[in-house]
Amino acid sequence: MSDPWENLLETARNVHLSDSRLQEFCPFPNDIKKQEFQPFYVPASDLMQNEIGLFSDSYTDLRDAFIVASPYAHWRQTYKGTALGDKFLEKFGCYGLIGPESPFQSKGIRAWVVYMPKNFYYPWHQHPAEEMYLCLAGEAVFRKEDCPEVILNSGGVMEHSTNQPHAMETLDHPIMAYVVWRNEFGTKPVLTYEDAR
Ligand code: FE
């Protein structure tokens, strides 16, 4: 079997290079290097691998590549120790493709996958980095400060500016998204409200 990370990187590169919205937001970098990292398991890994609701129009290759690599990933615990409880921590899935604790590094970009099961709420949060979501499969309601809410499904993108509060909610379907950051990589996301609304 080919290396799931090389396959995933190649598949993500193809999607990213062929999407003008992603390319304009941050061009896919040409300084990517492989790096060592330790896998880390969270229960959302199993949820994503067993998920049956991730319908997709044009992104089945990247969706499947993220699933194939997921048992070997370092799943993140970004919100451990915050106001978010076990229900969130066990069901929110996120692992890096390019960045810290990820199979690849680059100076110009961070890239990862986000998975949320159906009926899931990701409270208002923010970060200095600018961010773009590309919905690969499923759908979710995306909210950001000072903007009307949007339902994003396969092929839809959402951009978040520096420290702009944003939140997501899944209803009858799960979602998988390819997410990239540019600028200000050093600061982790924080919840906008202490009561995690
Ligand atoms: Fe964000």
Distance 160 CA to ligand 1 centre (A): 7
Distance 68 CA to ligand 1 centre (A): 24
Distance 66 CA to ligand 1 centre (A): 19
Confidence band for 69, pLDDT divided at 50, 70 and 90: very high
Question: What is the DSSP annotation of 41-107?
Answer: --THHHHHHT------SS-HHHHHHHHHHGGGSBB--TTTTSS--HHHHHH-EEEEEESTTSSEE-S
Distance 122 CA to ligand 1 centre (A): 10
Distance 22 CA to ligand 1 centre (A): 15
Distance 9 CA to ligand 1 centre (A): 21
Task: Name the residue type at position 132.
Answer: M
pTM for the full predicted model = 0.97
Quote the pLDDT of residue 1: 57
- The string of pLDDT tens digits covering residues 118-174 is 999 999 999 999 999 999 999 999 999 999 999 999 999 999 999 999 999 999 999
